[in-house]
Structure 1
Amino acid sequence: MNRTDDISNLFHRFGASADSYLEFDSHFDYKEKPLALVPALPVPVPASVEIDAPQVAIEVSETIPTVRTLQVEAEQPVVNTAQVGASLRHLLAEVALARHAEAQARNEETLRQVLPNGRPAKTKARVIALVSPKGGVGKSTLASALTTALRLEGGQTLAIDLDPQNALQYHLGAEPDVEGMGSASLKGENWNSLLLAGSAGSLLLPYGSVTEDERRTLERYLENDRYWLARQLANMNLGENDVVILDTPPGRTVYLDQALSVADQVLVVVTADAACFVTLDPMERLLGECRASGQAPQCNYVINQFDTSRAFCRDMHEVLKRRLGSKLLGVVALDHAVGEALAYGHNPLLEAESSQACQDMLMLSDRLKAQLELMSVSESYAS
């Protein structure tokens, strides 16, 4: 049975005839059409941003941490190294300060144990301390002049430089840059072995060359031993006709306190200007403290570097005369030749033709000498 018989039988079953049936062969190959994807709405992107889609996807995948990484990072505390460093430096600084304070306390305790107690016997020599409330008044120049000119019969005049600037040696023409009283005091040496020959038969004990640490150590000794200078002078075995000139630093220093404790005479050097005038009250208070503590040195003033050509200086001279009264012992004229003599290494007081300034300094020396001699007579009567 073929296909045609099958179709004919089918038509007969339904009461129809297959005579009019025609069969066509189809040449079409029908395939199922795929479903079309609906495009998503575009996301607006700013014109200034350029995005490369593949690169963005790669970069995001590289920078997004895994959940495990986030958990690990959350468990680790955040450490600020700058804060740790600053805190450590602060703690180290506290330790260093504590160590320094402890060492200083030990040094002071050791110093108190080794320092001798009690005031030594006063030196027989006459002691004149040159002081000044401010620098630049020509104090060292005047000290060298008095060391050269002032001398008691049968005695010698000795200058001691208590100023760390160590300049008095140049004014007296002594050998410069030698070991002086600064380092000798730290070593416990006697000052007599360090005396240098100066102008006109004078003697000089320079401050000497010391390091900064040595200077500070020496000044700590002076602060803790109020009789340090008195003890040094007593050990020199000076005679009653000897004169000691003390050159001190300007202002209130430990050297000034030591000098005032041994001085028989205090000569305050000022200049005729407003800067020195305003320092008179502090100086008077300081000298009043000395008198209150049982020290009673005789105090005088001298106006140095007085310029007679200026009206203001003349007016200030008059003001100082009214303020100081009999305490104003003398006036020394300004003379640039005195300062120039230092450059050439000679003493202007020894020249045949002395200037007005040299004459004034010689007159000041005579007045101080007269006061020292009068003091000796008064003490001899009292004894």
Structure 2
Amino acid sequence: MKRTDDISNLFNRFGASADSYLEFGSHFEYKEKPLALVPTAPERVPVVEVDQPALQPGDQASADSLQGVEAPLAPVNTPAPATPAAPLRHLLAEVALARQADAQARNEEALRQVLPQGRPAKTRAHVIALVSAKGGVGKSTLASALATALRIEGGQTLAIDLDPQNALQHHLGAEPDVAGLGYASLKGENWKSLLLAGSAGSLLLPYGSVTEDERRTLERYLENDRYWLARQLASMDLNENDVVVLDTPPGRTAYLTQALMVADQVLVVLTADAACFVTLDQMEHLLAERAALGQVPLCNYVINQFDSSRLFCSDMHEVLKRRLGSRLLGVVTLDHAVGEALAYGQNPLLTAESSQACRDMLLLSDRLMAQLKSMEAAESYAS
């Protein structure tokens, strides 16, 4: 039987005609549905029994406690990553810092052991402190000039350099063959054995060379002992005919505080410019603090390095004169030969042909001496 007969008989069975039969060709591709993955139970690893040694009577409790407990896996020894070594320069820096800290601790301990208490007796010498609120005003030059020119019969003039710059020794032509007051103070030595011979019969105590750590240690000591300088001067056995000239660093420092504590006269050094003018309030406020503590030194001002050829300097001179009044003790003319004398190790006040600046400094010295005599007269009258 053919295929068409089968189809005809099929349609006749259902009451239909095979003429309506149409055969369609299929162009679809049917894909099988992917099988879903079904999780399976983990395969149980068979337990291998190992013959154990016979238990001793005392081991029964330990064996019972270990029943049913799986033995842990043996740890695997994994090497730790190696730590990179620090560079050599870092190791050397650590050693240097440790050495500095140890030296500083020894210095501070030594200072604490020798730190005295109480205010010493005032030195019998007359003390003049040169101060300034800013640097570059020629203060050390004036200090050396006063140490050269100021002299009381029967006494000596001593210049003490409280400035860590240690420049006063060059102005006075002294040979720096001693350590100086900075190092001597750390060691507890007396200053009198450290005096150097300066020009024109003056004596000099230089600040000396110290390390930065030693300088900071000394300055902390000064801050803790307000009578440090007074005690040092008292231990030098100076007499009433001696004059002490103190050269201080610029600004408000521990050295300035110490100098104001012992000074009979204070000479504030200025230049005829705006920078010095704006520091006047700061300096006067500092001096007022000393006065509030009962310390009232005689205070004067001097204009240094005055250039009369400049109109602005002349105007500033007038402004300062109106502001300071009688407290302006003198004016020192600008003279480059004074600075050049330092380069040759010479004292300009000792030359045969003195300049106007030298004459101004000698006049300033005479006025300070006149004030000194009037103060001595007033003390004698009061006594």
1:377 to 1:234, Cα distance in 2 relative to 1, 3 A: same
Q: Does 1:258 align with 2:258?
A: yes
Q: Does 1:319 align with 2:319?
A: yes
Tell me how large the CA RMSD over aligned residues is: 2.7
Q: Does 1:115 align with 2:112?
A: no
1:340 to 1:111, Cα distance in 2 relative to 1, 3 A: closer
- Counterpart for residue 290 of structure 2: 290
Which amino acid in 1 is paired with 2:269? Answer: V
Shift of 1:210: 1.1
Unaligned runs of 5+ in 2: 1-28, 32-96
- Counterpart for residue 144 of structure 2: 144
Shift of 1:109: 8.5
The answer on whether the counterparts of 1:178 and 1:209 sit within 8 Å (CA) in structure 2 is: no
The answer on whether the counterparts of 2:154 and 2:241 sit within 8 Å (CA) in structure 1 is: yes
Which amino acid in 2 is paired with 1:167? Answer: A
Q: Does 1:222 align with 2:222?
A: yes
Q: Aligned ranges for residues 1-383 of structure 1 at < 5 Å? A: 114-176=114-176, 178-383=178-383
| 309-318 or 370-379, which deviates more | 370-379
Which amino acid in 1 is paired with 2:281? Answer: D
Question: Secondary structure at 1:268's aligned position in 2?
Answer: strand
The answer on whether the counterparts of 1:137 and 1:304 sit within 8 Å (CA) in structure 2 is: yes
The answer on whether the counterparts of 1:158 and 1:245 sit within 8 Å (CA) in structure 2 is: yes
- Matched residue pairs, number? 295
Quote the Cα distance in structure 2 between the aligned partners of 1:277 and 1:339. 24
Shift of 1:178: 3.3
Shift of 1:110: 7.9
Quote the Cα distance in structure 1 between the aligned partners of 2:219 and 2:110. 16
- Bigger helix fraction: 1
Shift of 1:176: 2.9
The answer on whether the counterparts of 1:177 and 1:208 sit within 8 Å (CA) in structure 2 is: no
Which amino acid in 1 is paired with 2:276? Answer: C
Shift of 1:117: 1.1
1:197 to 1:113, Cα distance in 2 relative to 1, 3 A: closer
Quote the Cα distance in structure 2 between the aligned partners of 1:374 and 1:322. 25
1:112 to 1:181, Cα distance in 2 relative to 1, 3 A: closer
Structure 1 residue ranges, 4+ long, deviating more than 6 angstroms after superposition? 106-110
Which amino acid in 2 is paired with 1:118? Answer: G
- Counterpart for residue 9 of structure 1: none
| 1:208-238 residue CA offsets vs partner (Å, 9 max, x unmatched) | 1111111111111101100000000000000
The answer on whether the counterparts of 1:177 and 1:209 sit within 8 Å (CA) in structure 2 is: no
Under a length normalisation based on structure 2, what TM-score does the superposition of the two structures give? 0.72
Quote the Cα distance in structure 1 between the aligned partners of 2:177 and 2:195. 13
The answer on whether the counterparts of 2:108 and 2:217 sit within 8 Å (CA) in structure 1 is: no
